[in-house]
Amino acid sequence: MKIHGRNSVLLLCAGLVALFACQRDPDMAQPPGQGGNGPTPYQLSYPDWASTGSQQIIIPVDNPLTVEGIALGRKLFYEKALSDDYSMSCATCHQQEFAFTDPRVVSLGTDGSPGRRNSMAITNPAWEQFFFWDGRAPSLEMQALGPVANMVEMRNTWPEVESRLAAHPEYPSLFEQAFGSPGVDSMRVVKAIAQFERTFISFNSRFDRYEYGGDSTALTAQEKAGRDLYFGEAQCNLCHTAPLFSNNTIVNIGLGFDPDDAGLEEVTGDHFDLGKFKTNTMRNIEVTGPYMHDGRFATLEEVVDFYADSISSTTPNLDNHMLPFLDGQLGLDADERAALVAFLKTLTDTEFLNNPAFSDPN
């Protein structure tokens, strides 16, 4: 992303982080494990190669991971009392078997209203710097605040949610165990959900076993050809950078002008950000369709064809990374496109998609 647009996001996020941190200060008085009576600290487990110099895990100082906090977050992630009519939970639009996304083009709210954008997958979010397609939330905690009160999603209010959870026979005790003191409030709800989501770690695909585990048999000849294209001629790795297969940027990839969705410009007010959307991860991409912020592509084959043939050179603010893709310059033939799709499917982590630790605990 160009420096100007990037700074717009960072300035916005810095202000939101400061505001959110001020709201969460009371919980900082209850550090995990202090005196042996607080929540139990939890350490994420992931391979050494998963964190690089530019891609590191982000854990807020005021929301450390704990066993009790994660357990509470798991229960809340599947809790339908968060919605106005008890019909929706976070998991309604973020389903584990689809890498915590929704297989529909757009999700539907509790009253049947269609959402505006395709539901984003939640894979390795502990490494991400901002959330939503337009990057408007600077943390998982801030992301979790939005859907409850959104009138095309859960259509509820946070005071109502707090009242319901406080009156529940189990939740008050679970909140006290998770945070070391009594109290049920919106900030604690989203903190717990964020803790649970940060455990969504996915680094056990066939690609990982081949690339990092030394298993030369993990990929077929076609998939190896697709791998070479991905990291070479097709230049996919420029933006969908391994090992996370995303580079945490918000860019305009040439989808064309959409008068109904300005992307990042709606957040920053800067026309330079028109049509910019977050670079999502390619991990588990096989199961996260339909693709793009508006779900316009049903298959990976359509996605590859778009990059190979259909980048719009007239799109305002087209990112420089897209220039080599213009006018079919890549020259990918049918076999190469098929190889790329085959390679992308090697990023599927079936263990992650079926991990019982992420399932509904009820």
CB contact burial 201-215 (16+ within 10 A = b; e otherwise): bbbbbbbbbbbeeee
Q: Which of 68, 79, 153, 336 is catalytic?
A: 153
* Residue whose token pair is 């019982």: 356
CB contact burial 18-40 (16+ within 10 A = b; e otherwise): eebbeebeebeeeebeeeeebbe
Instruction: Please confirm, yes or no, whether 160 is among the known catalytic residues.
Output: no
- Phi, psi of 291, deg, nearest 5: -110, 160
> CA-CA distance, 111 to 101, in Å (whole number)?
20
* Residue whose token pair is 């860019």: 251
> CA-CA distance, 175 to 73, in Å (whole number)?
10
**Pair 290, 298: CB distance under 8 Å:** yes
**Residues labelled catalytic:** 153
